[in-house]
Structure 1
Amino acid sequence: MPDNHHHHHNEGCGHESHDHDHDSGDLGPNDNLFPHIDRPHVVALNAVGPGASVIKPWHARMNEQVYLESDADEQLIIRVPFTGSVKLRSLLLKAGPGDQTPQKIALFANEPSLDFDDVSDKSPAQEFEVAVGREVGEYAVRATKFTNVTSVTLFIPSNQGADTTRVYYIGFLGQWTQRKSNPVITVYEAQANIADHDKVQGTEGAFSTPHT
């Protein structure tokens, strides 16, 4: 464990000059993916209120006025799509209080339509035990499982004993790249190719006579 921390400090060295540029001090880690979350399309299942309510900017991470609570039982699914491709470094979570804290969280990559029916058939990319506390916990992910992620789904199977589960804040740290050729454009390319072939066959005759 300690090795990891040394690692972070080394990575962090370059950030210092960056922090001086903005005096606000609460912009947080500059690899926070908040601006790249497709907030209008965040979905929470078995939840009271919209899923996007817990996707907050860094400065609002400790705010306890706005939260998401599970509805019929303690389980929650929160689907978070990104506006591009993400290399995820860690999940940030503030939940609770007390028994309403999730016991664990299962994290899925690129399962944008996961629901309670099929969540038990799929194995998560990673699972985390959640510690009870008021602060924001940072959970480092296995880089190899989260290198090319367009959506992340959190599944909370159980909590510490309460009837419902409460989540205040969800955030992500990592690198974002603009979506290049997937997923939509690939489909068009396939169709365009077919059209091109037709054109070639149809026009071959026309070009065989020299136009000089």
Structure 2
Amino acid sequence: MAEGCNHGHSHGGGGGGHGHSHGTPDASDAENSKGLEFNLYLKIDMDSLTCLNEEDEGSGKTVFRAYEKRMDRSKFVASDVDEELLFNIPFTGQVKLKGLLVIGGERETHPNKMRLFKNRPNMSFDDARAKPDQELDVHVDQEGVIEYKPIVARFSDVTHLSIHFPSNHGGAESTEVYYIGLKGDYMQAHRHEVTITAYESRANPADHKTNALNQVNHMIS
């Protein structure tokens, strides 16, 4: 099994499907729970997100959507001149990345590796030749059930995530990605504004004492 890979589901046992126990959440509950977890797409600056080597301009943005819509096969990105895809994903705040899901095309076009880079905005394919912060083997997954675990200590302060898919399982010229799910904690970016403190909001007794003495001296003189 690949580093950081967690299948996150059980295949169930034999015995006529009696692997279900009372009190286990039903499929809809599990779906809702996953949907709440993989919601970081809401924290992506979509206007600034780019996907390099996409065949159709803007198609890379469509793979970041609600978990419940992950099976929508009408929205996907296909690579253009070769099998590589590179996503540059800026967030609107700071993220602690805890999990990823990847749904690709059929086996021959499904990505087989995923290389993650942290806080390197506007990466090019030349930049992606550098050593990634983490590299993961990607398995063929048509339903988004295989969860990949980043090294949280490395991805605890992410403002920009780059995902490089260098190749696919079949050696095809085109790689297809239908859905990328991102899970983690989000912190709103702080605005650095100058705060002006009203120092005179409370009277300073020393000032009044000085004024009183000046008035007395003026009267005496």
User: Which residue does 1:173 correspond to in 2?
Assistant: 183
3-state DSSP of counterpart to 2:36:
coil
Alignment of 1:118-157 (within 5 A): 118-120=127-129, 122-136=130-144, 137-157=146-166
Q: Does 1:82 align with 2:91?
A: yes
User: Which residue does 2:13 correspond to in 1?
Assistant: none
Tell me which of 115, 124, 127 is aligned to 1:106: 115
Tell me the TM-score normalised to structure 1 length: 0.72
* Offset at residue 107 of structure 1 (A): 0.6
Distance across 1 between alignment mates of 2:175 and 2:91 = 24
Stretches of 4+ aligned residues off by more than 2 angstroms? 22-32
| Amino acid of the structure 1 residue aligned with 2:190 | K
Q: Does 1:37 align with 2:47?
A: no
Tell me the TM-score normalised to structure 2 length: 0.69
Give the fraction of aligned pairs with identical amino acids, expressed as a percent: 35
- The question of whether the paired residues in 1 share the 8 Å contact of 2:53 and 2:80 is answered with yes
- The question of whether the paired residues in 2 share the 8 Å contact of 1:90 and 1:139 is answered with yes
Q: Does 1:48 align with 2:55?
A: yes
User: Which residue does 1:115 correspond to in 2?
Assistant: 124
Distance across 1 between alignment mates of 2:100 and 2:165 = 14
Residues 78-134 of structure 1: CA deviation (Å, up to 9, x unaligned): 1111111000101111112111011201011111211112211x2211111011131
Distance across 1 between alignment mates of 2:67 and 2:31 = 11
* Offset at residue 29 of structure 1 (A): 4.0
Q: Structure 1: any 5+ residue segments left out of the alignment?
A: 9-18, 193-209
Larger gyration radius, structure 1 or structure 2:
2
- The question of whether the paired residues in 2 share the 8 Å contact of 1:84 and 1:177 is answered with yes
Q: Does 1:66 align with 2:75?
A: yes
3-state DSSP of counterpart to 2:126:
helix
Name which of structure 1's ranges 31-40 and 161-170 shifts more when overlaid on structure 2: 31-40
- Cα distance, 1:124–1:24 mapped onto 2, change above 3 Å: closer
Distance across 2 between alignment mates of 1:28 and 1:41 = 26
Distance across 1 between alignment mates of 2:167 and 2:29 = 41
| Amino acid of the structure 2 residue aligned with 1:47 | E
CA RMSD after TM alignment: 2.8
Residues 117-167 of structure 1: CA deviation (Å, up to 9, x unaligned): 2211x2211111011131213101101110000111001111121110000
Q: Which has the higher helix share?
A: 1
Distance across 2 between alignment mates of 1:94 and 1:65 = 13
Give the count of matched residue pairs. 172
Distance across 1 between alignment mates of 2:108 and 2:141 = 10
